Amino acid sequence: MKTINLVGYGNVGFHLAKALMKSNLFVLQRIYTRSEHSVDPDFPHLFIHDIHKLPVADITIISVTDKAIEELSTQLPFENQLVVHTSGTFSMDGLSSKNRKGVFYPLQTFSKAKDLTFSQIPLCLETEYKDDYSLLESLAKALSENVYAISSEQRQNLHVTAVFVCNFVNHLFTIGKEISDENDIPFDIFYPLIDETVSKIHSLEPRKAQTGPAIREDYATINKHLLKISNDNYKNIYKLLTNSIIQNGKKF
């Protein structure tokens, strides 16, 4: 079996470890975390807190905040191994040159409190050396059905899009929940609407799926809504997105 090290145990590392535990081809050898508080009670024996004690592995996966990737890659106590990071934005080049570089970017939103089906996650791979690609690909294919070769340039564009279609979408859900809480409306009344909004774009181009007062240029409704929104920030978001929908509607 091939061995894997994990450096960092945030939302991505947590789900990656759970997925690796189920693999028959790869074994999770050690997990490095800075703090002893991050130890997972499911497999505490795997955790170490001194990076200089990390043993050699076939693949070391650095899954930490972007600004810590370079320094941690420099501190690894071995050379000429395959070392990859999981960031959507950080360049592959930013890894220390003492090891062979690569990227293992899962295009998904991870929260420790939410289980997910790892096998459906698109895994976006890149390696410095062609020979390492097949090793990284064998790991990816052991964990997921959706594996892609993606350059650093493409990955950064993927990440920008992911922010729009995931992080910003979730923030709109947060705003929606806040408004409905203020008005004693149970938020689950919106679940069929939200589910259908997403179901639609699987079969219809989003541009063609657009409904609501903005695309109809129904200014009477738009103005009534603006009077209802008390939070200035949310009012500005309403205005900006409404104008953007109206402008987009005129493009076609």
Within 43-82, which residues bind a copy of itself (CB under 8 A)?
A: 65-67
- Of 81 and 152, the one with the shorter C-beta distance to a copy of itself is 152
| 250 binding a copy of itself? (CB under 8 A) | no
- Of 45 and 114, the one with the shorter C-beta distance to a copy of itself is 114
- Of 23 and 109, the one with the shorter C-beta distance to a copy of itself is 109
* Minimum distance from residue 61 beta carbon to a copy of itself (Å): 18
| 121 binding a copy of itself? (CB under 8 A) | yes
Q: Which residue of 55, 68, 111, 131 would you call a contact of a copy of itself, by CB under 8 A?
A: 111
- Of 26 and 110, the one with the shorter C-beta distance to a copy of itself is 110
Q: Which residue of 108, 128, 136, 147 would you call a contact of a copy of itself, by CB under 8 A?
A: 108
Question: Rounded CA gap, 129 and 134, in Å?
Answer: 10
Q: Indicate the residue type of 6.
A: L
Site string for a copy of itself, 149-188 (x = CB under 8 A): -----x-xxxxxxxxxxxxxxxxxxxxxx-xx-xx-x---
